[in-house]
Amino acid sequence: MARPVVDDHPGAGVGDEALQAVNEVAVRPLFMIVLFGTALVAVVLGVSGLRRRTWLMVLGAATFLLGVIVLTIVVNIPLNDTLAAVGPTDDPARAWSAFSPAWTRANHWRAAAGIAAAVLLLAGGTGRAVGSTPVTSAVGQLT
């Protein structure tokens, strides 16, 4: 919602300054714990899905790890670092116009991957393992 407004006023330097401030806040411990804590949960769920042969859980975990975590590390963080390097003598409109489309595209992919991962993990968590019956599933959970 706010990005189109900033894109309409790129000469003001609003976008790059705002995102630089957000990026400074994002590297705080609480955010890192939430981001990488969910990655750890995804790994645990993926391993659990492999053991139980619930492929939707495996696919959900992989979707989260690749589509959210890896994309953040490989695309969004380098873009953020490039934006952070914009100095007072640089042209803010040029920096923003180079940054905004790529970052927004990656952010949309991250959001879509997060939603898809949640759906897959929920579907996998409510399903039974391949080849199991309700009785063997219940017995397996007890052991």
What is the rounded distance in angstroms from the CA atom of residue 116 to the CA atom of residue 114?
5
Who has greater pLDDT, 8 or 72? 72
The DSSP secondary structure of 98-122, one letter per residue, reads HHHHHHHHHHHHHHHHHHHHHHHHH
Q: How confident is the model at residue 2 (pLDDT cuts 50, 70, 90)?
A: very low
Residue 34 pLDDT exceeds 60: yes
pTM: predicted TM-score of the whole model, two decimal places: 0.74
Q: Where are the domains of the chain?
A: 14-142
pLDDT value for 15: 60
pLDDT tens-digit series, residues 35-63 = 889 999 999 999 999 999 889 999 999 99
Asked if 52 contacts 138 with a C-beta cutoff of 8 angstroms, the reply is no
What is the rounded distance in angstroms from the CA atom of residue 30 to the CA atom of residue 36?
10
Q: How far apart are the first and last CA of the chain?
A: 50
What is the rounded distance in angstroms from the CA atom of residue 62 to the CA atom of residue 21?
31
pLDDT tens-digit series, residues 64-112 = 999 999 999 999 989 888 888 887 778 877 888 888 899 899 999 999 9
Q: How confident is the model at residue 135 (pLDDT cuts 50, 70, 90)?
A: very low
* Residue 70, burial from CB neighbour count under 10 angstroms (0-12, 13-18, 19+): middle
Who has greater pLDDT, 24 or 52? 52
Q: What type of residue is 139?
A: V
